[in-house]
Amino acid sequence: MTRAAAALLVLAACSAPDAADAQPREASPDAPLAAAVDPRAPPIQTPIEPVENQERIVELTGVLAQGGFARGKAVNGDFDAVLLNGKEIPALDDGRFFLAFGRDEASEVTLDIRYKDGMTVSRTLEIADTEFPESRLPAITQRIEASETFRKRRAEQVARIADARTRRSALTGWSERFERPAAGRTSGVFGSQRFYGGEPRSPHSGLDIAAPAGAPVRAPASGEVVLAGGGYSFEGNLVIMDHGLGLYSAFLHLSKIDVQVGDMLKTGDPVGKVGSSGRATGPHLHWGVWWDGVRFDPATLLHAPR
């Protein structure tokens, strides 16, 4: 499948903390970063080879795999723009940028670095396949209202969520080492194909962390709060943070929100409390990450080099 266009945050029910099928896939701090996604995923070489014998290179760190990400920098040149598959993406004036790869990313993507003197450094990046697990959960018994009133209210909610993620700020939280936003075991992993009572549903879009109601939720990296509110039909009490360059974190199902729009947070600052608000089968934190229209695996950001 090709890269999805900017996706709206519409989620099926998340698993309760006691979901028996959930298995953590995160790497230990000492393990290769590639293991956070797939042991077969090749590490990114840094720097990549210069083009046409020019001393202009692109430095990359991260994981080239479905659900993975990369941080990059264009060096040795008067930088102009970065393009991924022909689309210009956010970048800082010093040439630094961020990339992410969705669950169904194509096997190859094209990265172009354009300079003001007209030269373009191009590179084809091979994206490794990731084998995502299945997640089998009890049948959903919560009734989702199908009335016109509900559809209108839900459309308004989706529009607010989408609007909160439209800016491309120059914040630099994306460049930091991310920390786990809540203590607890992983009870649901990104990309798992979910079945509710044997009925297939959409793949899981984030990382679920098993924690009791009221447990603290903290900022995984620095950023600005761009949405903080309750009453969302699926997400419940919801907070969204902007980490810069189109990278956002979302914290769902909170029992309490401790921030407001405009707050600037540092790593470890309080965001709220774990809960089961919205469409959830039990208290837990659903942490989702989103970059330029692409959902990817939050676990890949953990233990990643700066």
pLDDT at 134: 78
Smallest Cα–Cα separation from 59: which of 5, 106, 2, 97? Answer: 97
Q: What is the distance in angstroms between the CA of the first residue and the CA of the last residue of the chain? A: 30
For CA atoms 214, 304, 121, 128, the dihedral sign is negative
β-bridge partners, 290: 248, 295
- CATH topology match: 33-126 vs 134-301: no
13 vs 120 pLDDT, higher one: 120
Q: What are the tens digits of pLDDT across the range 251-295? A: 999 999 999 999 999 999 999 999 999 888 899 999 999 999 999
pLDDT at 7: 30
pLDDT at 86: 96
Boundaries of every domain in the chain? 33-126, 134-301
Mean pLDDT: which of 3-12, 27-36, 116-125, 267-276 is highest?
267-276
Q: Which CATH architecture has domain 33-126?
A: Sandwich (2.60)
Question: Can you tell me the distance from the alpha carbon of 142 to that of 277, in angstroms, rounded to the nearest whole number?
Answer: 13
pLDDT at 28: 32
CB 283 within 8 A of CB 17: yes
Q: What are the tens digits of pLDDT across the range 148-194? A: 888 999 999 999 999 999 989 999 999 999 999 999 998 888 878 87
pLDDT band with cut points at 50, 70 and 90 for residue 145: low
Whole-number percent of the chain with pLDDT over 90: 54
Question: Can you tell me the distance from the alpha carbon of 208 to that of 42, in angstroms, rounded to the nearest whole number?
Answer: 26
Beta strands in 63-188 (DSSP E): 69-75, 79-84, 87-89, 96-100, 108-115, 120-126, 134-137, 186-188
Q: What are the tens digits of pLDDT across the range 213-256? A: 999 999 999 999 999 999 999 899 999 999 999 999 999 999 99
pLDDT at 303: 64
Question: Can you tell me the distance from the alpha carbon of 250 to that of 238, in angstroms, rounded to the nearest whole number?
Answer: 7
Question: Can you tell me the distance from the alpha carbon of 293 to that of 13, in angstroms, rounded to the nearest whole number?
Answer: 21
β-bridge partners, 260: none
Smallest Cα–Cα separation from 113: which of 69, 156, 61, 75? Answer: 75
Q: Is the pLDDT of residue 51 over 80?
A: no
The CATH number that domain 134-301 falls under is: 2.70.70.10
- Three-state DSSP state, 174: helix
pTM of the model: 0.80
Q: What are the tens digits of pLDDT across the range 55-108? A: 677 888 888 899 999 999 988 778 899 999 999 999 998 899 999 999 999 999
